[in-house]
Amino acid sequence: MDENKRKHILFTAMKLFNEFGFHATPTSKIAKKAKVSVGTLFNYFPTKEDLIEAIYVHIKLHSKATFLELHQEKGNIHDSLQSMWHVIIKWGIENPEEFKYLELFCHSPFRSTYRTEKSLEAYKQFQHQILKAVIPATICDAYPDFVLNYIDNSIHAATRFLLQNQIEDADHFIDAAFDLMWLGLSYHENM
């Protein structure tokens, strides 16, 4: 199979799904927009669900590769986490169609059918670092999955806000959003 054609179908479908949603985007519309026959589309992706999942996997692999390439470990946990935060949000800003698709996918029934450890790999390191940084007696120890949801929602909120608004100093905004998330999770002795 032609890898360029496969990618072209993936990106065409992603844009249509982003615009119209999963259920309002028939495979015939995808094939027409991609300028391939419906039969060709099904040769690459046997079902619409396979196509939806393939786009998700492609995006997760792309975001993970970018993360691994750009993230730099820092001397302390706070700075390492802040570096991770920056890389993840900047990836979303630089890849708005992929980010929008992730949001669509994560708020759809398809998420529950593809919620595996593999699909969450990109954020596991971030979650592990957060758990190391907070005191064990916090809610984070009792409900570690909550931490992942909290971080993921914070990342999505910051990225979405940056994409929807003209922010002069995006780096400052990203740092301030990180501080808000960090203060929400970290332990403070004077409390």
Size of the chain, expressed as the number of residues it contains? 191
Question: Average of pLDDT values for 15-41?
Answer: 96
pLDDT bucket at 191, cuts 50 / 70 / 90 = very low
- Summary count for the chain: helices (H), strands (E): 11, 0
Give the Cβ contact number of residue 102 at 10 Å: 21
180 vs 183, higher pLDDT: 180
pLDDT at 129: 60
- The CATH classification number of 1-46 equals 1.10.10.60
Q: How far, in Å, CA of 182 to CA of 70, rounded? A: 21
Domain ranges, ordered by start, for the chain: 1-46, 55-185
Give the H/E segment covering residue 168.
Answer: none
Over the stretch 130-178, which tens digit does the pLDDT of each residue have?
Answer: 666 654 456 666 777 777 778 888 999 999 999 999 999 999 999 999 9
Q: How far, in Å, CA of 53 to CA of 103, rounded? A: 14
Q: Which of 49, 26, 173, 170 is nearest to 110 (CA)?
A: 49
What six digits make up the tokens of 145?
């999955």
- The CATH classification number of 55-185 equals 1.10.357.10
User: Percent of the chain beyond pLDDT 90?
Assistant: 51
* Cβ contact 91:71 at 8 Å: no
